[in-house]
Amino acid sequence: MSEFVSKDGTWSIAVTSPSRADTPVLKIPNLTQGNVIRITANFFGSPDSGFYYDVKSTNNDVTAMSPTGGLIQGAGGWQACTRIVFFKVTNISSQTGVEDADFEVLFSQGDLDGKGRLSNFLLGGEVVSTVTAGA
């Protein structure tokens, strides 16, 4: 089953340290050990000098299997930004053997100015497979 969250419209960002910049958090429920989750972040960005973004899980038992970050840089204009990241549930801390995980996109300044605008943000995810031990 797929889960999605979104935010419509256009808003300004000015970040120094990592921040969600008023974007929503995606919750994927009922995960078990070995689940592989595909998370897709899609939005428009219009930078001043630029900013970085990073797709993250807030659950320490869920680790990234592919690159998670990107950057938007340049002088004006809108850029379409899409990042697809695969995560794996490496451990289950819950006694029930099932956990939920939250995913978010963090925006940061880095060596750029961290300022710009975002528009029509979408964050979606789904469990795409389960890897068994030893695989």
Residue 30 is part of a domain; what is its CATH number? 2.60.120.1340
Instruction: Name the nearest CA neighbour of 79 among 119, 106, 111, 108.
Output: 119
**How much is the pTM?**
0.92
Q: Is residue 134 predicted with pLDDT exceeding 70?
A: no
In a domain, 68, yes or no: yes
Instruction: Name the nearest CA neighbour of 62 among 40, 41, 83, 31.
Output: 31
Q: Domains in the chain: how many in total?
A: 1
Quote the domain boundaries for residue 43.
2-129
In a domain, 27, yes or no: yes
Q: Is residue 110 predicted with pLDDT exceeding 60?
A: yes
In a domain, 108, yes or no: yes
In a domain, 45, yes or no: yes
In a domain, 75, yes or no: yes
Residue-wise pLDDT for 31-87, tens only, equals 999 999 999 999 999 998 899 999 999 999 999 999 999 999 976 689 999 999 999
In a domain, 73, yes or no: yes
In a domain, 44, yes or no: yes
Q: Cα dihedral angle (58, 24, 119, 48), rounded to 10 degrees? A: -50
In a domain, 134, yes or no: no
Sequence-ordered list of residues with C-beta below 8 angstroms from that of 65, at least 6 positions apart, any chain: 36, 85, 86, 87, 88
